[in-house]
Structure 1
Amino acid sequence: MAYQTFQQEYLQIPVVTRAYTTACVLTTAAVQLEIITPFQLYFNPELIFRNYQVWRLITNFLFFGPVGFNFFFNMIFLYRYCRMLEEGSFRGRTADFVFMFLFGGFLMTLFGLFVSLVFLGQAFTIMLVYVWSRRNPYVRMNFFGLLNFQAPFLPWVLMGFSLLLGNSIIVDLLGIAVGHIYYFLEDVFPNQPGGGKLLKTPSVLKVIFDTPEEDPNYNPLPEERPGGFDWGEGQRLGG
């Protein structure tokens, strides 16, 4: 019974969020079980282009470090904001969502050549948070029960939190930069005088991912509780 309930809940997660979070969890599990090592996953341009280890272009987005606080923290934010984007502004536009993944991943890979980052998953999560926050500017957030602010400040709060934990903020800045580029090209520039839509989802993605029929079992995540994960008694993570 418990398995059937879990399976039902799992299958109600939208397809892109389900695929990405599952890949991240399975990759981390494989590392924990020593089936693979992080050295086989990290972003290394020389190994990619000279030794043709092209899988590193994908796997560097799937590993968030060993199981621990940082891993769970990133997984909560990745799942939450990826799902809210897919069920919110990308509802019924799976191909456009996949294209955002490809566009963001491409830019991060390009920038990653210059900033010597070996794993880009956390930056990708910040990108998703940034796009969601800009598209929901009036949502009030509460972080760890300590800070109250509006959604557009969330990426910067997360960056400050990373700084407090002793992590490099380069990762967060990269995610914010790529998120802003996407948001500007997709939401801002087309509405400017003389502007236009520069990002166009390839038709092949629309053929593969977009279907006209609504899923009768679709169960959207409620928008009124963004980031509504309890983090300890009386505390709520990201909202």
Structure 2
Amino acid sequence: MAYQSLRLEYLQIPPVSRAYTTACVLTTAAVQLELITPFQLYFNPELIFKHFQIWRLITNFLFFGPVGFNFLFNMIFLYRYCRMLEEGSFRGRTADFVFMFLFGGFLMTFPNLAVGQDEQVKGTFNPGIAVGHIYFFLEDVFPNQPGGIRILKTPSILKAIFDTPDEDPNYNPLPEERPGGFAWGEGQRLGG
């Protein structure tokens, strides 16, 4: 019974929040079980570009440290706020939500190409706050200013992958075939 309710709660999480939270938990579990080490996950430009360890562009956003109070706090924070955004501001706009993640990841990764490893580790929280403010300004503030334009536009490839196409008002489906060839339910109205 508890398994079913936990499963239903898990499936009610919006898809991007569910995928990201699950990836973070699975990555941390893999480190805890010593299937991988944190050294295989961290952002290292030399290993990415010279040794083609491209996964490091993603995995550095999936590992929040060893299981403990900080990990639990981070997972609750991540789950709660991702879900609130996906169900609130980004409701029905999954591609835009994914684009926000990619934009934020790019802005947090790009400056790290120029700084040392110690600065990357120490500055993670502050760039996250700055990136959030930059996104908010470019998405919600600047376009609504006199002479403002919308700079951030979700690429159509993301819309094709993540958003359901709008229903075509001219679409006229073929009548469905009735079992047995009978015109079921097409009798006359009573009293008419």
Q: Deviations over 1:22-60 (max 9, x none)?
A: 000000000000000001000000000000000000000
- How much has 1:171 moved relative to structure 2? 2.1
Alpha carbons 1:10, 1:18 under 8 Å: kept:
yes
> Which residue is equivalent to 1:190?
143
Aligned pair 1:206/2:159, yes or no? yes
Alignment of 1:53-202 (within 5 A): 53-117=53-117, 168=122, 170-202=123-155
Q: Deviations over 1:154-200 (max 9, x none)?
A: xxxxxxxxxxxxx94x2221111111111111011101111100100
Alpha carbons 1:185, 1:199 under 8 Å: kept:
yes
Q: Secondary structure at the match of 1:196?
A: coil
> Which residue is equivalent to 2:33?
33
Indicate the RMSD between aligned Cα atoms, in angstroms: 1.9
Q: Write the distance in 1 (CA, Å) between the matches of 2:50 and 2:10.
A: 39
- Would you say how many aligned residue pairs link Structure 1 and Structure 2? 166
The runs of at least 4 consecutive aligned structure 1 residues that moved more than 4 Å come to 117-120
Q: Secondary structure at the match of 1:185?
A: helix
- How much has 1:81 moved relative to structure 2? 0.5
Q: Write the distance in 1 (CA, Å) between the matches of 2:56 and 2:34.
A: 18
- How much has 1:66 moved relative to structure 2? 0.3
> Which residue is equivalent to 1:49?
49
Q: Write the distance in 2 (CA, Å) between the matches of 1:118 and 1:28.
A: 21
Q: Deviations over 1:59-105 (max 9, x none)?
A: 00000000011111111111110100000000000000000011110
Q: Write the distance in 2 (CA, Å) between the matches of 1:4 and 1:173.
A: 39
Q: Write the distance in 1 (CA, Å) between the matches of 2:115 and 2:100.
A: 22
Q: 1:82 to 1:14 in 2, by over 3 A?
A: same
Which stretches in structure 1 are left out of the alignment for 5+ residues? Answer: 121-166, 214-239
TM-score (structure 2 length as normaliser): 0.81
Higher relative contact order (CA 8 A, sep 6+): 1
Q: Write the distance in 1 (CA, Å) between the matches of 2:8 and 2:56.
A: 32
Larger strand proportion, structure 1 or 2?
A: 1
Alpha carbons 1:86, 1:97 under 8 Å: kept:
yes
TM-score (structure 1 length as normaliser): 0.66
Q: Write the distance in 1 (CA, Å) between the matches of 2:3 and 2:70.
A: 28
* Structure (1 or 2) with the larger CA radius of gyration: 2
